[in-house]
Amino acid sequence: MSKQAKTIRPRERDTIIQALSAGVVPRVGLPHIQVGRAKEIAAMLRDIDRIADAGATIRFVIGEYGAGKTFFASVVRLIALERKCVTIHADLSPNRRIQATGGQARALYSEAVNNMATRNKPEGGALQSVVERLVTDAAKEATATGISVEKVIDEKLGAIAQFAGGYDFATVLKAFWRGSDESNEPLKQNAIRWLRGEYSTRTDAKRDLGVRTIIDDENLYDSLKSLACLVRVAGYAGLFVMIDEMANIYKLQSAQGRKQNYEQVLNIVNDALQGNTSGIGFVMCGTPEFLLDTRRGMFSYEALQSRLAENSFAAGGLVDMSGPVIRLQSLTPEDLLVLLGNIRMVFAGGDPAKYLVPDDALTAFMEYCDRKIGAAYFRTPRSTVRSFVQMLSVLEQNPDTRWQDLLEQVPIAPDAPDDVAEAPTDSGDDDELTSLRLKS
């Protein structure tokens, strides 16, 4: 398995290895290990182009635990950044939901905006740089036209007024401009705090910024649409919103809570499919149960089921990527072989002369996995990858060890599926969950 040498920086190498050994997605270096998913990525590229063309999209990435949903979403996020989109991302959790009344929706918004990334700041924390770019461009335009900066900002953000709280977005941006112009750092930081959804009371927002609204549970979706308008005015292609661990909705004990969250999801789906909004795309990742279960999942909500039902003609190995749902297909054994080769290259720092194992070890490891856990080793490859990384780590730290002697000692244990854990039974209105498995 020859591969052109490409140097991998030690820090990047160590970050990738550390993440893979823990069974999580590394925040850097994804192109070094990405394999397969060509059709799925091609579909997402079309979505990104649609966002840049002032359109809107939504995708539900569905796959078994360990099938690579988070990894796939991270790769798509990097592509979106390269195509001049702004991305925000967050995981749902008991404390973060799409719809809530106890601050959980605002917590989701705040977490996502704190993770805002651009091509120049891919690690996150890009909100202030985006705002600074917008007000700087407004200042240049004001100088060229002879009108005030605040009036330019109002004109640029005119489209925001259609959203709940949209007018206050412009007011807060003008406050940020005044803070910049007057070297008033507290005023600038208050404006950023408001845009992050960190104000909990309207009284504080009125006192600090002169606005009557805050970003809260009631206007999360409208705030995201306003944010998408803001980033486009700042010169970016659009806003890409990525929400992982959607199974946390399906785990909610309250049937009413699930229904309210699915209603919010339906609003997003309708707007994206009907063209009611622009410059924004959503990627939501979840398990097959989250999608298919007719008692707790999205298919329990009839309107969502009708919109997300798969194409009945896409059977027998045929795929249709035009609908909102992307079901991650199993990695082929060839894909997994390439993946193991990529991991070997990462360990070598991009230098084939430093390979810890030869090509024969890759095929022997796959044969070993096939004997131990069957075909699932490439359908949900997380455990396989983690075990391979652990084997290479042992070889790296014990140079006298032969991979042939070590191979039979490699443990291949199934992961504890925390994102498909059995949902708690509702008090009163739900039977026990009937688990549905995604057809491979």
Residue 270 DSSP SS3 = helix
Asked if the 43-125+237-327 domain carries CATH number 1.20.120, the reply is no
Write the CB contacts of 75 (distance below 8 Å, at least 6 apart in sequence): 30, 34, 37, 41
d(CA 191, CA 185): 10
Residues in the chain: 440
pLDDT of residue 320: 73
pLDDT of residue 27: 75
> Of the candidates 4, 262, 17, 236, which has an alpha carbon nearest to the alpha carbon of residue 127?
236
Give the model's confidence band at 412: pLDDT under 50 very low, under 70 low, under 90 confident, else very high: low
pLDDT digits (tens, 9 = 90+) for 17-71: 998 888 787 877 888 888 878 888 899 999 999 999 999 999 999 988 777 888 8
Give the model's confidence band at 409: pLDDT under 50 very low, under 70 low, under 90 confident, else very high: low
Give the model's confidence band at 269: pLDDT under 50 very low, under 70 low, under 90 confident, else very high: very high
| Domain residue limits, the chain | 43-125+237-327, 127-219, 333-413
Query: What tokens were used for 10?
Result: 């030690």
For 137-154, give the DSSP string: HHHHHHHHHTS-HHHHHH
Rg (CA), the chain: 24
pLDDT of residue 387: 84
Dihedral sign, Cα of residue 214, residue 216, residue 218, residue 224 = positive
Contact in structure between 328 and 69 (CB atoms under 8 Å): yes
pLDDT of residue 161: 79
pLDDT of residue 179: 94
pLDDT digits (tens, 9 = 90+) for 154-164: 888 888 877 87
Contact in structure between 36 and 335 (CB atoms under 8 Å): yes
The pLDDT > 70 percentage for the chain reads 88
Query: What tokens were used for 17?
Result: 């290895």
Dihedral sign, Cα of residue 122, residue 83, residue 223, residue 186 = positive
pLDDT digits (tens, 9 = 90+) for 101-130: 999 999 999 999 999 999 999 889 999 999
Eight-class DSSP state of 96: B
Hey, which residues does 285 pair with through a beta bridge? 61
pLDDT digits (tens, 9 = 90+) for 417-435: 444 333 444 433 443 333 3
Higher per-residue confidence, 312 vs 254: 254
d(CA 231, CA 229): 6
* Mean pLDDT over each residue of the chain, to the nearest integer: 85
> Of the candidates 190, 217, 10, which has an alpha carbon nearest to the alpha carbon of residue 99?
217
Residue 157 DSSP SS3 = coil
Q: Which amino acid is at 250?
A: Y
Is pLDDT at 85 greater than 90 in this prediction? yes
Contact in structure between 263 and 301 (CB atoms under 8 Å): yes
Hey, which residues does 240 pair with through a beta bridge? 87, 281
Eight-class DSSP state of 433: -
Higher per-residue confidence, 100 vs 410: 100
Query: What tokens were used for 205?
Result: 């927002």
